[in-house]
Structure 1
Amino acid sequence: MSRSTADSAPSATLPTPKERRRLREALALSEEQVAEAMGVTKATVRAWETGRSTPRGRKREAYAKLLGTYEPAGAAPSPERPNGSTPQKPQPQPKRQPQAETQAQAQGAGATPGPGAAQSGSGNVRPKAAAKRAAKPPRAPSPSPAIASGPGRKGPAKPQERLKPAAKATPETPEAPAAPATAVPAAEVPAVPGLTPEQAFDALYAHAAPGLVHQTYLLTGRRRLSRESVEYAFHHAWEHWPEVAVDPDPVGWVRATAYEYALSPWHRLRRAHKHPDAPPTEANRRALLAALLELPPPYRRTVLLYDGLGLDLPETAAETEASTPAAANRLLHARTVLGQRIPELAEPEALHRRLGALVAEAPTATLPAARAVRTGSERRTRTWTRAVLGVTAVLIGVTGLTAVTAPTRYIPVNAPGETVNGVPVRGGPQKLRPEDLELRDKLRSEPNPGPERLVPTAE
């Protein structure tokens, strides 16, 4: 196929950034292995999985094949053979078993999948890279702790070592019903055609803002800071609305911004947010909130996302910008500390029910209207833009004035003489008197005084 034909081919459809990470971990591939197979750097693979960038062209198709989500738009014509013979009709290939079922059967039979087993589902791995990884000895699976899935998970329980992608439902294998959820996280606002950006933002604000205020209060214990964090997050969302509007999870986008602002350590320097608010009057809520506030901020955020909102472990790790094993270790440590402080929450199911019920409570915070948030964001943007333009104009004016008034050459300044007092007497021999000068001249003019001496003469 020529290059022009390849470029004009329709681009492959990729899953969401969170789903890309989940599929990679389900295939037991590290970021280094994916980067080596795709011929890119590890930072590029991380950017693909966080949504900061997306592969294009042939790399996009290769990346979709590596993840196992490539679906060609139509059957491409068979290429001609080099000798000019007519290609034979392709024989029907046997139906391949889904990747998740294959790994599940291998684990049920007691076999440990190696690096080569993860690559069998991808058809675009370069032969050289595949040969390198096949020559390496198989690595033992990382000893990441197993996290028990509570009743509020989004899907069936999954072991931590292999987070498999959900297989598509087929006539032979119908889709299994999902487990009932007690604490459902804030879902994506359904896209309604014909909405203006202002109406879509108002709908997102009305849907997610009250719950986010309650969640940030559980993270910080400060009501005023929680309202300020949510307002800042929606200000930021309106400034970047083209990006938020196309995001697969706009609520998660705003939630991550609000959490980052609320857990910033710089708030400790502010007198208004130096100490938490008065604890609740109920004993159970007061004990749970005090135990949460004793955890470090990353651990507090992880347990709230996983046990409170019911996010999966890869989604929790992606939102907290940590690896999946690190998020699992944070979750286990947070559960251990909370179980020691509150013995009845030592079981993961009990902690999940309590946090889910606490997050699902109806918020009572009063927030400004969505229109006020939008106008405030626009006003702040105009103010900062004018300030930057004003400072830039002042700097340009000062620079121009300096260039005009500065001298083109250096003129040294001759200072007038002044009488200096208090200088000590100059050391050395004394000044000669007239008699001394006369004696010196006489000695210089008559070099041989005294009696007659023999002076050699040249003959």
Structure 2
Amino acid sequence: MCRSIYVYVLFRTKGHTVTQRHATPLPAPKERRRLREARSLTQAQIAARLGVPRETVRGWESGRTTPRGRRREAYANLLAELASDAADRAVRAEDSPAPDPAPEPQATTGTDPAPASAPEPAPAPEAAGPTPGAEPDAKHEPTPTPPAQAEPGTTTPSLTPAQAFDALYAFCAPALVRQAYLLTGRRELARESVERAFQLAWQRWPEVAVDRDPAGWVRAAAYEYALSPWHRFRPRYRHPEPPPADASDRALMDVLLHLPPPQRRTLLLYDGVGLDLPETAAETEASTPATANRLLHARETVASRLPELSDPVTLNRRLSELASTERLRAAKPPAVRIGSERRARFWTRAAIAFTVALVGTTALTLRTAPTRYEPPVPPGETVQGVPPRVAPGSLSEEEAELRARLREETLNGPERLAPAPR
């Protein structure tokens, strides 16, 4: 695998830009971020100049959303101004003698579409538990970018599919285990859900490697497995696991587990992971109004039972704390890959055995089936003149007369043939 696998698999941003025929043209999302970083501006500063929230600017730069109307024109004018300033600085830099012919690239030059040291604060370490999803928070932090992606023209080490999968697993698995625990309240089921999701991802790695959001692909698969209703029929899942030790954690977990699964998943994605409403609707395969209603009902239920969690910020913090209290560890990436390959071989051999059995059964049926039409045996007909069979006993006058007549006509009439001796 080359450099593109690293970008596609690990840290490629989600969504795509919807172009309009008569709308004001805008540069690519990466170019928008490059122009902002070239002026050493933060997303909050750009949002203040445009009069929009910081999350909106982040969505524009990641390509998940696209500005429209007056906001699009104002954003296009601001980007054009930044581009002209960058061009002027480049001209002045060419006219002035350079002290160093080969300077090291700086994080604020804007040449890297996703620099390793962004001006935004980096996500907190996993031990601190910033969110129940340790993946990049769509509301607070920028999307992490691999430090291996340097300036154009520099060589980056190629990654094999196994190395890219291991990097994706190390990036997403710890957070997904904690999220699955909040969904199910079961530690073993949370680990099993994440392992099954990554095993499925390894089986479909060519599809996952080019996905716009590999982390979202695996997260959706893990959520679907964790919320499957068939787990209730498994013997070891018929009894609840020990609840958290802290009383407040037990109360919050009890409220989460009493929510309907769609509302629980929507609440975790929006208030826990930090996805916006359209992304949450897309991942839960629901419309945006239905997702908004689920979120409102879930928040009302939580606020009615735990009034101190009526604020979404407080709820996000409590979800992070609840997910971080449990020591949930995922399996090693090689073990997951080996398990996926074993499962694939098992089902492949089972499919081959079933196909062979089906072919053998079909061949046996064709060999033993009749080759011509055999009419069915017609039902018997009643012989006229023969009295019905009765129980054993003495013969009546009619029966005795009939027996005598039959005995007399045995050899004389043409109706019967006497057996010839051999």
Q: Is the 8 A contact 2:134 2:174 kept in 1?
A: no
1:170 matched to 2:133? The reply is no
The residue type equivalent to 2:15 in the other structure is K
Q: Which residue of 1 aligns with 2:135?
A: 186
Aligned residues: 293
Higher helix share: 2
Alignment TM-score, normalising by the size of structure 1: 0.55
TM-align CA RMSD: 4.2
- Separation (CA, whole Å) in 1 of partners of 2:22 and 2:316: 35
* 1:381 Cα deviation after fit: 0.9
The residue type equivalent to 2:336 in the other structure is V
Aligned counterparts, 1:354-433, within 5 A: 354-359=318-323, 361=324, 364-411=327-374, 422=390
**Bigger relative contact order (CA 8 A; separation at least 6):** 2
- Separation (CA, whole Å) in 2 of partners of 1:294 and 1:369: 32
* 1:65 Cα deviation after fit: 3.6
For residues 131-173 of structure 1, what are the alpha-carbon distances to aligned partners after superposition, in whole Å with 9 as ceiling and x for unaligned? xxxxxxxxxxxxxxxxxx9x9x686899xxxx86384652547
Taking structure 1 as reference, are residues 173 and 377 closer, same or farther at Cα in structure 2, changes over 3 Å only? Answer: same
For residues 264-301 of structure 1, what are the alpha-carbon distances to aligned partners after superposition, in whole Å with 9 as ceiling and x for unaligned? 11111222123431111111111111111110001001
- Separation (CA, whole Å) in 2 of partners of 1:389 and 1:309: 42
Query: What runs of 5+ residues in structure 2 fail to find an aligned partner?
Result: 1-11, 29-46, 84-118, 124-129, 137-142, 149-156, 381-387, 403-422
1:248 aligned counterpart, secondary structure: coil
Q: Which residue of 1 aligns with 2:190?
A: 226
Taking structure 1 as reference, are residues 66 and 247 closer, same or farther at Cα in structure 2, changes over 3 Å only? Answer: farther
- Separation (CA, whole Å) in 2 of partners of 1:242 and 1:340: 46
The residue type equivalent to 1:328 in the other structure is A
- Mean Cα displacement is larger for which, 342-351 or 298-307? 342-351
Q: Is the 8 A contact 1:210 1:363 kept in 2?
A: no
For residues 360-408 of structure 1, what are the alpha-carbon distances to aligned partners after superposition, in whole Å with 9 as ceiling and x for unaligned? x276223332111111111111111111112111211221222123221
Residue among 277, 286, 293 paired with 2:241: 277
Query: What runs of 5+ residues in structure 1 fail to find an aligned partner?
Result: 1-14, 24-62, 73-100, 109-148, 435-459
Runs of 4+ deviating beyond 6 Å: 66-72, 177-181, 412-415, 429-434
* 1:216 Cα deviation after fit: 0.3
Taking structure 1 as reference, are residues 387 and 308 closer, same or farther at Cα in structure 2, changes over 3 Å only? Answer: same
Alignment TM-score, normalising by the size of structure 2: 0.59
The residue type equivalent to 1:333 in the other structure is H
- Separation (CA, whole Å) in 1 of partners of 2:56 and 2:234: 39
* 1:326 Cα deviation after fit: 1.1
Taking structure 1 as reference, are residues 179 and 326 closer, same or farther at Cα in structure 2, changes over 3 Å only? Answer: farther
Residue among 15, 19, 31 paired with 1:18: 15
Residue among 337, 344, 353 paired with 2:308: 344
1:297 matched to 2:206? The reply is no
Q: Which residue of 2 aligns with 1:309?
A: 273
For residues 82-114 of structure 1, what are the alpha-carbon distances to aligned partners after superposition, in whole Å with 9 as ceiling and x for unaligned? xxxxxxxxxxxxxxxxxxx9xx99xx9xxxxxx
Taking structure 1 as reference, are residues 67 and 322 closer, same or farther at Cα in structure 2, changes over 3 Å only? Answer: farther
For residues 188-228 of structure 1, what are the alpha-carbon distances to aligned partners after superposition, in whole Å with 9 as ceiling and x for unaligned? 77565501000011111112112111110111001111111
